[in-house]
Each structure stands twice: as structure tokens, then as C-alpha cells.
Amino acid sequence: MRIGITCYPTYGGSGVVATELGLELAARGHDVHFISYAVPVRMTEVSERLHFHEVEVVNYPLFDHPPYALALATKMHNVALSESLDLLHVHYAIPHSVSAYLARAMVKSRRLPFVTTLHGTDITLVGSDRSYLPITRFSIEESDGVTAISEYLRQVTIREFGIQRPIELIPNFVNCDVFQPADGECRRHEFAREGEAVLVHLSNFRPVKRVRDVIEIFHRVRREIPAKLLMIGDGPDRTSAEWLAREKGLAGDVIFLGKQNQVQKLLNCADVLLLPSELESFGLAALEGMACGVPPVCSRVGGLPEVIDDGVEGYLVPPGDVDTMAARALEIASDRQRRQAMGQAARQRALRQFCSNKIIPLYEALYERVLSQNGVPPLPSVRG
């Protein structure tokens, strides 16, 4: 198939999932065309089946707010025609599914179906804001296929938006060959001395991630055992977290690494992953850690209970309860056997349920259904 994928190309989880999906689809013989304003960050591979089309937004003094959604719709339309796309798959409803709706309407010569994947804040925060709710609901209803990345998000969407059409659950996934426990090769020695525990946090440092809680948790752990904390990612709350770490006298033990590409090489060094978010519709970072054999300590919110079996593969704790999170993290980090048993259980869970080889066929089956419902037989790929 020839598939156009649109996502936010930055470090948000939806962009990561969309990019990994594109890479996997290309590896399985599909032609994948990313359509966005920048090259997706995890699109590090080059292949004849992977293409990128940049959306350029023309600015003009009249435009206080350049109309990205329109530039995107135009680019989708153009690429669909020039590359004979079979369908569009947009990640994050706003504004991508609206742009896809316009592109579909603009392609007059044939049907150009589009699939929308809902990721989280497009429903729980931005989409449910009254200024966006009607158009988000409209574009979901108008999509030819809709998926949600957890049952939690599926239910919230149906409830909050009153959606009548079917929404399919296709959970997030991880490439379990890339994200796997370290076999000797590990960057741990770059950050921690022998005998020090390594805790890790990975996010876009937005308020919903509660990054100050990460520091609070680490502070409590650090009082009990020698440890280092790796903070991977960047975003608006980084400065405040850095400030708090200094205030607590932890500056030498908390290492802010900023945005990183090969996160698996950092995750697989850690003893515990901390994700104390206010809300996570899935919690991709927790899954990436689990695939690397690292037990996560997370908030019991949103879709996280669908990913982690509490007490077996990691721990789920009410959001904001930093004392309990610290106690759980300490329990794992200070007991080698416990850490290994939980890490193995976490890896097994990822292998059982969330590896890309299990999930990508679900997307392929959905594409085929959408195409046949629209009377569009998938075109044979140009390159065979």
C-alpha cells in the first residue's frame, strides 16, 4: 500500500508512535510518505520506501496565526495525487484529521480515505476544550477508520464526545528487538559509579508529566541509597525541575540529558523508570522501559493499568503520592533479586502484548478494511 502519515514530528509520544509505525510499515514493503512540517525525529533510517514531504506555511502580515491546517490539507492533496496514495493515516486529531477531511474532499477523481489515531491530549485536554470539541467530534465521525491507543482513551472519547461510529483499540507498540535489556553493552558507567542505583525519567517535560515529582521521588530515594537520576527529554518544566534539583542539593546526582535519539541505550542501563504523570492515556515511555527490562513506577491513571500489572511488572501509585512512589522505587532499586524478577516480568509483558510484530498487522488489517469499504482496491506498490 501507499500510505501518507501525518504527525507532530517533535518529541511527543504520538509523533514517536507514528514514526515507528511508518518505519515498520516500510520494512514490511509498504511505501510510506510522511507529511509534516519537519522530519520526524525518529526517522533516522533512509530507505527507498520512506519519504518525507515538508509542509511549508506561507506567512503574511495579515496572518496573526499562519493557517497550518490549510497548508497541511493542500500538501496532503498534492502528495495523494503525485504519489497515488491509497490512504492517509493521521496521528493526533487536531488539526490533522480536519486537514485530512479537506484533502479527501479536494481529491475529486477518486476516494482518498483517512484513518485517525487518537493519542491522548487531543481528546482529554485540547479536544475537549469547548473551542475545539465540535470540530474534533466532526473529524472523528467523518474519519474512515478511527483507533485509540488504549481502552481508557476509547471509552473517554465515546463518553465525552458522544461518538457514534466504531473506534478500534490498537494499543501502542515497541520494537522489542531495538528496545531490549542490555547485554553487557550499556552506558551506565558514564553516569553512575559502581554500586549506585540508576533511576530514569523520559518525557516532554510538560505540566501533565509532573517532572517536579520525579525530583521529589528521587530526593527521597537518594536519602537512603547512593543513586543517580537520568532526566531524558526537554520541555517547559525542565527549568523548574533543574531548579528544584539544585535546591535539594541534588545537582551532582541528577543529570539532565535533554532530547536524545537512541533512548533505548539509556533506558536499558536503568534500575527503575519513574513516570508520575497527572494523566497518561497509554504511557509509551513506561512500555519502552519495560521492553528494556526496566520496571516502571507510575501513576495509577488513564491507560497505565492496561500496560502494567501492579506489583508484578512495576508499580502503580496514585498521582502526587511521592512518598509511596519513592518507597516503591527504593524497594526495586535496593533489592537486586526483586529488580531482576520485575524487570523480567516487564520484558515478558512487552513481548506478549506490545511488540511491533503483534501490533502492525492490526493496522494493516484496518487499512485493508477501510480500503475495501471505500471500494478502493489497494494499488500494487510501485516498486513491486
Residues in the site for ligand GMT, rule: CB under 6 A? Answer: 12-15, 17, 92, 119-121, 149, 172, 204, 206, 208, 279-284, 302
Q: What is the dihedral of CA 132, 136, 139, 140, to 10 degrees?
A: 180
Residues 6+ apart with CB under 8 A from 142: 97, 101
Burial 43-77, CB ≥16 within 10 A → b, else e: beeeeebbbebebeeeeeeeeeeeeebbbbbbbbb
For ligand GMT, give the closer residue by CB, 19 or 268.
Answer: 19
With cell 496572518, the residue in question is 63
For ligand GMT, give the closer residue by CB, 129 or 190.
Answer: 129
For ligand GMT, give the closer residue by CB, 330 or 360.
Answer: 360
Q: How many Cα neighbours within 13 Å face the side chain of 19? A: 21
User: Closest approach of Cβ 121 to ligand GMT, in Å?
Assistant: 5
For ligand GMT, give the closer residue by CB, 123 or 244.
Answer: 123
User: Closest approach of Cβ 153 to ligand GMT, in Å?
Assistant: 8
For ligand GMT, give the closer residue by CB, 23 or 149.
Answer: 149
For ligand GMT, give the closer residue by CB, 3 or 93.
Answer: 93
User: Closest approach of Cβ 43 to ligand GMT, in Å?
Assistant: 16
Q: What is the DSSP letter of 381?
A: P
User: Closest approach of Cβ 244 to ligand GMT, in Å?
Assistant: 20
Indicate the length of the chain as a whole number.
Answer: 384
Burial 4-38, CB ≥16 within 10 A → b, else e: bbbbbbbbbbbbbbbbbbbbbbbbeebbbbbbbbe
User: Closest approach of Cβ 40 to ligand GMT, in Å?
Assistant: 12
User: Closest approach of Cβ 209 to ligand GMT, in Å?
Assistant: 7
For ligand GMT, give the closer residue by CB, 191 or 205.
Answer: 205
User: Closest approach of Cβ 74 to ligand GMT, in Å?
Assistant: 24
Q: How far is Cα 156 from Cα 12, in angstroms, rounded to an integer?
A: 20
For ligand GMT, give the closer residue by CB, 171 or 343.
Answer: 171
User: Closest approach of Cβ 302 to ligand GMT, in Å?
Assistant: 6
Cell numbers found for residue 45: 533510517
Q: Which helix (H) or strand (E) holds 284?
A: helix 284-291
> Whose CA is closest to 1, among 364, 366, 373, 369?
364
Phi, psi (rounded to 5 degrees) for 23: -65, -45
